[in-house]
Structure 1
Amino acid sequence: MIQPRLTSVLLFVAAPVAATLHKQSTPPMGWNSYNYYNCDPSEEIIKNTAEALVNSGLAALGYDYVTTDCGWMTRDRDGDGRLQWNETLFPSGGKALGTYIHDLGLKFGLYSGAGYYQCGSVDLPASLGYEEIDAQSFADWGGDSLKYDNCYSSSPDVMVNNSSPISQSPVRHQKMAAVLDSVDRDIAYYICQWGIGYNVGEWASPISNAWRISNDIYNSWRSIWRITNEVIPYWRHTRVGAFADMDMLIIGLNALSPEEERFHFSMWAINKSPLKIGAPLAESAIVPAESLDILSNREVIAINQDSLSKQARLILRYTEEEWDLWAGELSDSRMVLGIANWKNETQTVSVDLTVVGVQEANARDVWAHEDLGRLRGAGTWYLKGHEMKLLVLSEIAKPPLAPNGTGFHAAENATLSGSAVVESCAEDKCLPAGSRARYITSDSTVTFEGIASNGEGTKLLGVDFINYEIATDSAWQWGSNTRNMTVAVNGGRAKRWAFPISGGDWAEADRMFIEVDGFVDGDVNTVSFAGFGDSYAPDLVGFEVFE
């Protein structure tokens, strides 16, 4: 039996009440030592960077956390079991460093891990088994936040074991959350568990201010694509005080072009990710002035820091054309619209505002700092290679008639060929059908017949799918967090779409909207789904045609 489903194209979900542990209402902003200095920080580096945050004006824009990442401690605890700062690297010690940072009007970020040792080392202790002692030390030093990593979680001999049930378990991170909540100091808690295992947003969002959703970012454009495809389903868990962390910014590291840096900053901002700078701000010869300008865009920061804390949604994807349409709700009845060009070439695209529930609205281009006047209906946009156009819409008028679904078509009622099979799911899984077609390859099809269309040509399809092929171990190669599937109408050309991660496990579905050509008038259409290349397609729950 098909379960009821809301059919509006853009669905904004009311946010749950934040848990008492949360200390920040908007995504944290600041700087972290890891991206440039790796596990080799020093007191001089931290102090110089803190001063650079203030002198550059970045601190005044909200970048106020200064975090010393891995590598700050010695291998031995003291006689009372307390962590000790490396006196060679940090001669003044942790408490004095915290005071120095506080005197600049900034906040002191600390680092540890939920395993035997800290990441990037073979003998520097982490907090497993010492949670109470370490949390009190963090408070005594004046710590304002704790990044809590996940290395050596299952064994003192293995730094990273993504497949270990112990590494995937929330228990160690939950324990530190409870301990931090008991000390006599507010310490924001950032879980760095890398998004491994299942339903991470479900267990991490109630106990942390932010939680990492992926393997590390690295200095390459394709890591932006990988992480974007992984953050998409976390709209279910992002809310005031709880934010999906897409990892540190690589802006200013000379890894991306200026246009790519703007794209990167835009995508992190609309998804309400923490904005943590990773560039060596105290080394002005390394960080381009244009990168500092990008990080300083007040209007983009305002989108990220909006009081509603609503993560944007992927509205439409055009995989072969290489662009996406994103939209998200902002305070004061406004909306952010993102037009993302993944192609490294210029292109002109058409966007119909009605697909995001807008008939007309005032628009402002936040990168150009330009008011565009009143926009209505469909319009064309010129995009540079790897550009993300970012618009804020206000004074929005909604259309009298929004696109509505004409009836859901479950995969269990389709004709299957090749290796494709239908599988029933547990209660409240694989929604809205409670079943799905699996093992869809390029040599197998899931075909629906008798599909109705009011008129001919291109139609909007809402495809309900499941993909949980997380690119953790393949993150530094070509892992993309996507599975590809083709759609053909009435025997026409099979067109490819890249489907992102859908939820927290292999039974949580999401809906992606696509536009498909080839329909004819009447209830005589055939729609066929198939895999692409050598890999499986996402599991298919079903689809709906919107008119």
Structure 2
Amino acid sequence: MLLVLCLRPLQAAGFTLLLLLSLASATTVRTSTPVMGWDSYNYYNCYPSQDIIETNAAALVSLGLSELGYTYVTTDCGWTADARDPLTGQLVWNETLFPSGAVALGDYIHGLGLKFGVYSGAGYWQCGSTDDPASLGHEALDAQSFAAWGADSLKYDNCYANSTTTAADYTGTVSGSPMRFDTMYNALNAVSRDIVYQVCQWGVGEDIETWAPPIANSWRISNDIYNAWRSIWRITNQVIPYARVTSPTAGHADMDMLIVGLQALSTYEEQFHFGMWAINKSPLVLGSALANSLTPAASLAIVSNKNVIAINQDSLGAQAELVRRYTTAQWDLWQGALSGGRQVIGLANWYNGSQSVTVDFAADLGIASAVAQDAWTGDSVGTLSGSYTTTLQGHELRLLILTNVVNATAGIQEPVAYYTAATQATLAGNAVVVDCPSGQCLPAGVKVGDIGEGDTAASVTFSGVKATTSGTKLIGVDFINYDVALDTAWALGDNTRNMTIAVNEASAVNGERFAFPISGGDWYDTGRLYVYVDGFVAGASNKVVFTSYNSTVTWAPDLVGFEVYEVN
């Protein structure tokens, strides 16, 4: 059985252990690279039909997309009749929408050389309607049906988890329960057909990276993508911590389906979206209408880019990492390992307008020199070393594929000293030391919380901070943020918490703001953000103050500590 997860995190460490133990003897077949395909939901919502599925499947072939790897064709929500078969209890396809039935639809898709994907959910109803039965309590029977229909994949959703009336419940006691997804996993394992298991649990709860990899090829880590640029920021900030988990054997974080081709984004934004999903090794699932020439040619060119697809499908399976964030300038620097000693570098401009950006290859990337190719154009950028400066257009993601990489031995960042917030700082306002469970809030084992929101006095001040030379320094901030946007995801949520860092300023409000992403699977899982901060003086007399960016209305992330670096 092939497994792909689209799910939410677990809520109890003990239960995680029991689940992992229950799966220890399970044998699963995994795809070594993220799944690629097409799903009906983003354009057709919960209103699919036989004609819609067949014409879009045919378009995958006629447009040459199937040859690029887009092979899984999934009929999303809305395919069922409003009741199970009264005699057998089996799920029934809506005869009006799908007059030929499931087996014929699967045969048609298979006849095109594609894979047949079906959809259900772990709750009482499928998403989209309280007339469409889901699989709760019928897992074994439904798994047998999926296999009998010739299904190659199952997208398994999480609607109506707690009741028959609330579609998306993010706080209920069984919302996103891993046991429900484990039940379907075991049911699929019992049938005599390999089926890709796409668990779509949205990331509800905690510790998805702990319990999902044993049963899945990929795992959804966010609420649904929305047809707007802000969704790209929200989901990107949520996928960052999973770089330490993803691999061909542990699976990949699923950032949701692509909105390229839905005419919701500009061309640069569509490139950014597709490229960010690619370097983070998310499944690449198209969601636009491919039939009847409804997807613009420029969008088709983006999702057909062989260089970017190759990054996503690279055999090493390594998710890229955020290595620098420049919040005031609003751009990120990403770095990811590729097979054969190659690397991918991403320069991500979140700013609305164009801007010049500079990367120090040794200090920022640990590279002395490399031969670079622009992934989008295929053009050679030449041999790069020292500083690389380029201009990015508004919302552009520049992707460079590096070969002949020579690691730097000089000019790289070296740590000078580490400072722990709970023991080496002066706390003001409501800021308070919080004990952490053993083995968490690393490296210090404790953290400082309650920084901000209604408390303008809340701050964490470090005195006597050492710097070898004066000027701008790289600091690595160990922080904790699990303020995940779920019910607010389509409106206000962005998965970040802002913190101001002031060095030797008369007032902390004069410091620089940084947007801290999600750090991990719970409120004790530490992440690290590397940022440049100016204002240091040589010696051990520096004062560094951390506060909430807007302490009257928002929280800062919890603070574990920070490390100061100097270029060797």
| TM-score range relative to shorter protein | over 0.9
Residues 135-534 of structure 1 aligned to structure 2 (within 5 Å) = 135-241=143-249, 242-284=251-293, 286-354=294-362, 355-401=364-410, 402-412=412-422, 413-441=424-452, 442-491=456-505, 493-533=510-550, 534=553
| CA displacement, residues 452-495 of structure 1 (integer Å, 9 cap, x when unaligned) | 11111100000000000000011111210000000000116310
For 1:543, the equivalent position in structure 2 comes to 562
Kindly indicate whether the alpha-carbon contact (under 8 Å) linking 2:182 and 2:215 is maintained by their aligned counterparts in 1: yes
Give the letter for the 2:31 counterpart.
Q
Kindly indicate whether the alpha-carbon contact (under 8 Å) linking 1:487 and 1:528 is maintained by their aligned counterparts in 2: yes
Kindly indicate whether the alpha-carbon contact (under 8 Å) linking 1:18 and 1:239 is maintained by their aligned counterparts in 2: no
Tell me the SS of whatever aligns to 2:182.
Answer: helix
Distance in 1 separating the partners of 2:477 and 2:182:
36
Please, which moves more after superposition, 65-74 or 19-28?
A: 19-28
Aligned partner (choices 64, 73, 87) of residue 71 of structure 2 = 64
Tell me the SS of whatever aligns to 2:156.
Answer: strand
Kindly indicate whether the alpha-carbon contact (under 8 Å) linking 2:281 and 2:317 is maintained by their aligned counterparts in 1: yes
CA 1:503/1:388 → structure 2, altered by over 3 Å: closer, same or farther? same
For 1:5, the equivalent position in structure 2 comes to none
Distance in 1 separating the partners of 2:123 and 2:431:
42
| CA displacement, residues 132-180 of structure 1 (integer Å, 9 cap, x when unaligned) | 0000110111101000000111111221111012013211001111111
| CA displacement, residues 57-100 of structure 1 (integer Å, 9 cap, x when unaligned) | 00000000000000111012121111111110001100111011
Kindly state the Cα deviation for residue 540 of structure 1 after the two structures are TM-superposed: 0.2
Give the letter for the 2:58 counterpart.
E
For 2:7, the equivalent position in structure 1 comes to none
Give the letter for the 1:469 counterpart.
D
Aligned partner (choices 113, 124, 131) of residue 121 of structure 2 = 113
Please, which moves more after superposition, 322-331 or 442-451?
A: 442-451
Give the letter for the 2:184 counterpart.
M
Kindly state the Cα deviation for residue 423 of structure 1 after the two structures are TM-superposed: 1.5
Give the letter for the 1:427 counterpart.
S
Kindly state the Cα deviation for residue 427 of structure 1 after the two structures are TM-superposed: 0.5
TM-score by length of 1: 0.95
Give the letter for the 1:410 counterpart.
T
CA 1:336/1:532 → structure 2, altered by over 3 Å: closer, same or farther? same
For 2:15, the equivalent position in structure 1 comes to none
For 1:3, the equivalent position in structure 2 comes to none
Kindly indicate whether the alpha-carbon contact (under 8 Å) linking 1:23 and 1:187 is maintained by their aligned counterparts in 2: no
Tell me the SS of whatever aligns to 2:230.
Answer: helix
TM-score by length of 2: 0.92
Tell me the SS of whatever aligns to 1:430.
Answer: coil
Distance in 2 separating the partners of 1:478 and 1:525:
37
Give the letter for the 2:440 counterpart.
K
Distance in 2 separating the partners of 1:289 and 1:93:
33
Distance in 2 separating the partners of 1:314 and 1:138:
39
Give the letter for the 2:441 counterpart.
C
Give the letter for the 2:512 counterpart.
K
For 1:126, the equivalent position in structure 2 comes to 134
CA 1:22/1:454 → structure 2, altered by over 3 Å: closer, same or farther? farther
5+ residue gaps, structure 2, are: 1-23
Aligned partner (choices 92, 99, 103) of residue 91 of structure 1 = 99
Kindly indicate whether the alpha-carbon contact (under 8 Å) linking 1:70 and 1:112 is maintained by their aligned counterparts in 2: yes
Kindly indicate whether the alpha-carbon contact (under 8 Å) linking 1:18 and 1:240 is maintained by their aligned counterparts in 2: no
Kindly indicate whether the alpha-carbon contact (under 8 Å) linking 2:498 and 2:556 is maintained by their aligned counterparts in 1: yes
Please, which moves more after superposition, 257-266 or 488-497?
A: 488-497
For 1:13, the equivalent position in structure 2 comes to none
Distance in 2 separating the partners of 1:400 and 1:337:
20
Give the letter for the 1:28 counterpart.
V
Distance in 2 separating the partners of 1:279 and 1:203:
32
Distance in 1 separating the partners of 2:150 and 2:274:
30
Distance in 1 separating the partners of 2:29 and 2:353:
43
Tell me the SS of whatever aligns to 2:248.
Answer: coil
Tell me the SS of whatever aligns to 2:104.
Answer: helix
Give the letter for the 2:536 counterpart.
F
Please, which moves more after superposition, 170-179 or 156-165?
A: 156-165
Please, which moves more after superposition, 513-522 or 364-373?
A: 364-373
Please, which moves more after superposition, 41-50 or 206-215?
A: 206-215
Kindly state the Cα deviation for residue 445 of structure 1 after the two structures are TM-superposed: 1.2
**Aligned residue pairs, count:** 530
Across the aligned residues of Structure 1 and Structure 2, the Cα RMSD in angstroms comes to 1.3
Tell me the SS of whatever aligns to 2:464.
Answer: strand
Tell me the SS of whatever aligns to 2:59.
Answer: helix
Kindly state the Cα deviation for residue 22 of structure 1 after the two structures are TM-superposed: 3.8
Kindly state the Cα deviation for residue 375 of structure 1 after the two structures are TM-superposed: 0.3
Tell me the SS of whatever aligns to 1:291.
Answer: helix
For 1:41, the equivalent position in structure 2 comes to 48
Kindly indicate whether the alpha-carbon contact (under 8 Å) linking 2:161 and 2:176 is maintained by their aligned counterparts in 1: no
Kindly indicate whether the alpha-carbon contact (under 8 Å) linking 2:501 and 2:546 is maintained by their aligned counterparts in 1: yes
Tell me the SS of whatever aligns to 2:96.
Answer: coil
Distance in 1 separating the partners of 2:189 and 2:31:
14
Distance in 2 separating the partners of 1:22 and 1:206:
11
Give the letter for the 1:240 counterpart.
P
Kindly state the Cα deviation for residue 236 of structure 1 after the two structures are TM-superposed: 2.5
Please, which moves more after superposition, 536-545 or 68-77?
A: 68-77
Kindly state the Cα deviation for residue 298 of structure 1 after the two structures are TM-superposed: 0.2
Give the letter for the 1:438 counterpart.
G
5+ residue gaps, structure 1, are: 1-16
Tell me the SS of whatever aligns to 1:165.
Answer: coil
Kindly indicate whether the alpha-carbon contact (under 8 Å) linking 1:18 and 1:206 is maintained by their aligned counterparts in 2: no
Structure 1 segments (4+ residues) deviating >6 Å = none
